[in-house]
């Protein structure tokens, strides 16, 4: 839920900012807790820019022009959604302890245990096929929607239209994000045109993410799979497809089977080159030798690791920051949501669920 617009954001979830940093698309605002779809306001049929874009989609995708115009025209603006896309105020402190507490709690852990036990064979099959550990898959689904409990109540067409045509100009990347959401709207309509379903029915997050894994439309098109072989992909009601699709997403972004996502690390202040180690952010850059030479202290298996590492800093408000050594697989998790805080929540929730399973 940091997300740039790197390729991951452009193909996965988009999330709004929290007091810490962008949170996952499943972190719904209070209005999304209501029963039934959130109601939009003015329809886009009266908007010339929306109708022009509808014509462009129809021509580009070879879709029925009338159908595209009617679908976008019937979408309604969601007045409160644009402000949810604005960054947190400058100076807002990040706090890993607070962020973690939102996702690592007894309710989510016990829901994870139930989900894992009910889908153990499918999780094992996905891990065997892709190399993505079951606990990472379980962690993602739990952080995103509490295993389907909170998939969002915004009509997807309303959310995508609102962010395509009314994305806030005050955002520092307004043009880039507006283009992103227009791409997602086009992908959504392209997919819906090939089904017999009503495009006004699907609901999701205020950013247009859908289903248990909160995939954006382009991610559904590229990475979702029919993992149980029933002839259709269902990310809302079919845990097998959800599990297989999450695993496939990570495989596509370069998950390395058997590689830990993180190693414990401490810092030797007497020789620490913190600015050097933090400069690449979460991108794995340093060999183990270079990492240690910069003042990072590794122990055990980490000293035998022959891949690249990143020093991941998790701020804790005014308290001492938490640090871990991130591998390529940690970076892959952030392709789902461009945030080290998010990735750590996924890792720790998966670990907690596994531990609870073994009790």
Q: Give me the active site residues, please.
A: 144
CA 120 to chain centre: 23
Exposure class string for 103-115: b at 16+ Cβ within 10 A, else e:
bbeeebbebbbeb
Q: What are phi and psi of 308, to 5 degrees?
A: -90, 150
CA 176 to chain centre: 18
Q: How far is the CA of 179 from the CAs of 26, 68, 164, 166, in angstroms?
A: 22, 18, 7, 11
CB atoms within 10 A of CB 341: 26
Is-contact 312 325, C-beta < 8 A?
A: yes
CA 326 to chain centre: 18
Residue in 145, 127, 128 with CA at minimum distance from that of residue 136: 127
Residue 286 pairs in a beta bridge with 309
Helix (H) or strand (E) holding 349, with range, is helix 340-357
Give the CA angle between residues 106, 109, 111 to the nearest 5°: 105
Identify the DSSP state of 304.
G
**Separation between Cα atoms, residue 355 and residue 346, nearest integer Å:** 14
**Separation between Cα atoms, residue 99 and residue 232, nearest integer Å:** 36
DSSP labels for 19-47?
SSSB--TT---GGGGSSSPBP--SBGGG-
Q: What are phi and psi of 286, to 5 degrees?
A: -105, 135
């Amino acid at each position: 839920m940091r997300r740039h617009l790197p390729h991951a954001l452009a193909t996965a979830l988009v999330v709004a900012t929290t007091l810490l940093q962008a949170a996952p698309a499943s972190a719904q605002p209070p209005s999304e807790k209501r029963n039934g779809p959130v109601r939009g306001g003015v329809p886009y049929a009266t908007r010339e820019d929306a109708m022009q874009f509808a014509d462009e989609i129809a021509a580009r995708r070879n879709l029925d022009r009338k159908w595209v115009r009617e679908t976008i025209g019937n979408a309604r603006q969601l007045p409160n959604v644009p402000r949810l896309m604005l960054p947190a105020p400058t100076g807002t402190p990040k706090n890993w302890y607070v962020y973690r507490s939102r996702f690592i709690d007894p309710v989510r852990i016990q829901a994870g245990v139930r989900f894992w036990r009910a889908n153990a064979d499918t999780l094992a099959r996905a891990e065997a096929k892709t190399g993505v550990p079951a606990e990472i898959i379980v962690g993602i689904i739990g952080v995103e929607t509490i295993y389907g409990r909170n998939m969002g109540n915004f009509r997807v067409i309303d959310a995508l239209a609102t962010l395509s045509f009314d994305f806030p100009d005050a955002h520092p990347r307004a043009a880039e994000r507006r283009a992103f959401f227009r791409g997602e709207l086009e992908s959504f309509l392209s997919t819906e045109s090939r089904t017999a379903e009503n495009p006004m029915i699907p609901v999701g997050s205020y950013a247009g993410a859908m289903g248990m894994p909160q995939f954006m439309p382009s991610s559904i098109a590229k990475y979702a799979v029919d993992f149980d072989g029933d002839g259709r992909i269902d990310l809302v009601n079919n845990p097998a497809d959800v599990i297989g699709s999450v695993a496939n997403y990570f495989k596509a972004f370069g998950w390395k089977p058997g590689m830990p996502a993180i190693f414990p690390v401490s810092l030797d202040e007497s020789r620490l080159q913190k600015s050097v180690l933090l400069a690449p952010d979460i991108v794995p850059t340093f060999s183990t030798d270079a990492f240690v030479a910069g003042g990072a202290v590794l122990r055990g298996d980490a000293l035998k690791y022959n891949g690249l590492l990143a020093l991941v800093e998790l701020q804790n408000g005014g308290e001492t920051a938490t640090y871990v050594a991130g591998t390529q697989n940690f970076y892959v998790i952030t392709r789902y949501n461009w945030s080290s805080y998010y990735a750590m929540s996924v890792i720790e929730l998966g670990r907690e669920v596994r531990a609870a399973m073994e009790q």
